[in-house]
Amino acid sequence: MTTPTSETAAQAPHSGPESPATSLPLPVLDQPEASAVEYERFLDCVHCGLCTSSCPTYLELGTEMDSPRGRIHLMRAVTDGRLPLDNDVKRHLDLCLDCRSCETACPSGVQYGRIIEPFRLAMEKQSPAPKSRDWFHRWILFGILADATRTRWALAPVRLMQWLGLDRLLDRSGLVRFLPGKLQRMHRMLPRLEPRGPELPERLAAIGPKRATVALSTGCVADAVFHHVHWATIRVLRENGCDVLIPRSQTCCGAIHFHAGAEEPAIERAKTNLAAFPLEELDAVIVNVAGCGAMLKEYGHLPVNAATKERLQLFASKVRDIHEFLVDLGPIAPKGELNWRVAYHDACHLCHAQKITEQPRELLRLIPGLELVAHEEPTICCGAAGSYNLVEAEMAERLVARKADHLLAVEPDAIAIPNAGCLLHMGRRIREEVDGEHAAPWMGHPIELLDRSYQASSSP
Ligand code: SF4
Ligand code: SF4
């Protein structure tokens, strides 16, 4: 494929009506109900190229079509009918991590996510072999991982094997290599599972004077693998004067489906969550996973009827990332010392999609003794990107290697990571990289560090 200059991209004629002012269904689609890209969003891009150096795939490949500007050009050309949506075009779009780093870098305010996401939904709807219907999406991603209970059951034998030490025997036996590639990667990604701890109650009262009433969104994979992070989050919220509700009937946020192009199941999950959370009673819906937070904040944009949309907009308006919420509330400083050098990883769906960069750092700096150390390229994606690391393994590996090098170069005692997917993906790479040389740094959620400090100061 030839690489268009910014000139050709800017001057490309539009084959439909002159610069249409409303949403256009993509011409590659027959279905009238198909998702649409609002055409004005293409026009926001002035082809300056200031976003390219912030794009992980461009940094790795150096090709225009694997940059934000190139991808916007491709999507607009397909929408205009000037370019067929062939495998070459799809490949460049599939390689995009939807990390939204380009949005942060763009001086023209291009909302890249609002272009690529509906475009991908449209591609999925018109595809003769939709990705969302392959065995991995149907049985593993949607069938197990998007359901906390099923993931918990699926992990039960893993816990037992880890406890008995049989997981290492399995690794040494080489049997794992007979699994399909994606399942091998999932196996390698699993950390040593923490003891699950008691089930979350439905409500816990604030410690000290009450300052707010909040509900915790527990999600799916996060609840099954990082249940201890939910407990840490609840303890920290209570220490900060919050009554915490944990609605039983809540479900996965729908991001796994939505980002794989399966819009209907995502909408169903949004409606279930809408019914589960008593919004009128709440000051905030708290999320401790960056990817889920970004999805929940987008609920108001889902294509539903007007009455449901209004309620979803109210839901979205109450969603707060845990760091964002605590800083806005005014955090009560923890007193327990933690004499660690800590590197903080900016998860894309926190720093780019939600524009939250300072709040986690501000909270970590409150911990007595903790030294926050900076590393190179803190806001470049680690390659986890939801299920990207499983379906685009080669690029994901290049990016996580780059990230691990930068992080390990500053020799941290701990790496604080505010997103379950990044934690699994980077955790695996870093464990493998330091294997045998010296101990891997502690890796966990920033809120766990804050919790440790609160717990230490309240210990007798
Ligand atoms: S920085 Fe913004 S306007 Fe410039 S090329 Fe990138 S997306 Fe387009
Ligand atoms: S979302 Fe990320 S990977 Fe995709 S074009 Fe933007 S910066 Fe590049």
Domain boundaries, the chain: 21-128, 133-189, 203-328, 331-458
Give the Å distance between the CA of 68 and the centre of ligand 2: 6
Query: What is residue 367's predicted lDDT score, i.e. its pLDDT?
Result: 98
Q: Which of 171-175, 283-287, 456-460 has the highest mean pLDDT?
A: 283-287
Question: Closest residue (by CA) to atom 8 of ligand 1?
Answer: 45
pLDDT band at 437 (very low <50, low <70, confident <90, very high): low
* pLDDT on residue 262: 82
- Answer whether residue 146 shows pLDDT above 90: no
Report the separation in Å between the CA atom of 390 and the middle of ligand 2, taken as the mean of its atom positions. 18
pLDDT at 14 over 70: no
3-state secondary structure the chain: CCCCCHHHHHHCCCCCCCCCCCEEECCCCCCCCCCEEEHHHHHCCCCCCCCHHHCHHHHHHCCHHHCHHHHHHHHHHHHHCCCCCCHHHHHHHHCCCCCCHHHHHCCCCCCCHHHHHHHHHHHHHHCCCCHHHCHHHHHHHHHHHCCHHHHHHHHHHHHHHHHHCHHHHHHHHCHHHHCCHHHHHHHHHCCCCCCCCCCCCCEECCCCCCCEEEEECCCCHHHHHCHHHHHHHHHHHHHCCEEEECCCCCCCCCHHHHHCCCHHHHHHHHHHHHHHCCHHHCCEEEECCHHHHHHHHCHHHCCCCHHHHHHHHHHHHHEEEHHHHHHHHCCCCCCCCCCCEEEECCCHHHHCCCCCCHHHHHHHHCCCCCEEECCCCCCCCCCCCCCHHHHCHHHHHHHHHHHHHHHHHCCCCEEECCCHHHHHHHHHHHHHHHCCCCCCCEEECHHHHHHHHHHHHHCC
Comparing 194 with 270, which gets the higher pLDDT?
270
124 compared with 347, residue with greater pLDDT: 347
* 89 pLDDT more than 80: yes
Ligand 2 centroid–CA 150 distance in Å is 32
Task: Name which residue sits closest to atom 4 of ligand 1, judged by CA.
Answer: 48
Distance 36 CA to ligand 1 centre (A): 21
Mind listing the pLDDT tens digit for each residue in 361-413? 999 999 999 999 999 999 999 999 988 998 899 999 999 999 999 999 999 99
Q: Which atom of ligand 1 is nearest to the CA of 50?
A: 1
Equal fold, 203-328 vs 331-458 = yes
**Ligand 1 pocket by C-beta < 6 Å: which residues?**
45-51, 68-69, 102, 105-106, 108, 110
Distance 388 CA to ligand 2 centre (A): 13
Residue 157 predicted with pLDDT over 60: yes
What pLDDT, in 10s, does the model give residues 238-264? 999 999 999 999 999 999 888 877 888
- Ligand nearest the Cα atom of residue 61: 2
Q: What percent of the chain has pLDDT over 70?
A: 89
Is pLDDT at 31 greater than 60 in this prediction?
Answer: no
> What is the per-residue pLDDT for 436?
61
Residue 68: is its pLDDT beyond 50?
yes
Q: Ligand 1 pocket test: which of 41, 69, 74, 104 has the largest number of ligand atoms within 8 Å of its C-beta? A: 69
For the chain, what is the mean pLDDT?
A: 86
pLDDT score of 18: 34
Q: Is the pLDDT of residue 438 over 80?
A: no
pLDDT tens readout for residues 204-230: 999 999 999 999 999 887 888 889 999
Q: Which of 51, 101, 352 to mutate to test the pocket of ligand 1 (most atoms within 8 A of CB)?
A: 51
For the CA of 105, the nearest atom of ligand 2:
7
Check whether 172 has a pLDDT greater than 60: yes
Q: Using CA positions, which residue lies closest to atom 4 of ligand 2?
A: 96
Would the pLDDT of 145 be above 60? yes
* Res 1 pLDDT > 70: no
CATH topology assigned to domain 331-458: Rossmann fold (3.40.50)
pLDDT confidence tier of residue 132, bands split at 50, 70 and 90: low
Fold of 203-328: Rossmann fold (3.40.50)
Task: Please choose from 52, 60, 92, 96 the residue to mutate so as to test ligand 2's pocket, defined by most ligand atoms within 8 A of CB.
Answer: 96
Q: Is 348 in the pocket of ligand 2 (CB under 6 A)?
A: no
Q: Is the CB of 42 under 6 A from ligand 2?
A: no
**What is the pLDDT confidence band of residue 134, given thresholds at 50, 70 and 90?**
confident
pLDDT for 148 beyond 90: no
Best mutation site among 44, 73, 108, 114 for ligand 1 pocket (most ligand atoms within 8 Å of CB)? 108
* Residue identifier of the C-alpha nearest atom 3 of ligand 1: 45
pLDDT of 23 > 70? The answer is no
Query: Ligand 2 pocket, 101 CB below 6 A?
Result: yes
Gap from CA of 100 to ligand 1 centroid (Å): 12
State yes or no: pLDDT of 331 exceeds 80. Answer: yes
Q: Quick check: 21 pLDDT over 50?
A: no
User: Between 3.80.10.10, 1.10.4160.10, 3.40.50.1390, 1.10.1060.10, what CATH number should domain 21-128 receive?
Assistant: 1.10.1060.10
pLDDT surpassing 70 at residue 459 = no
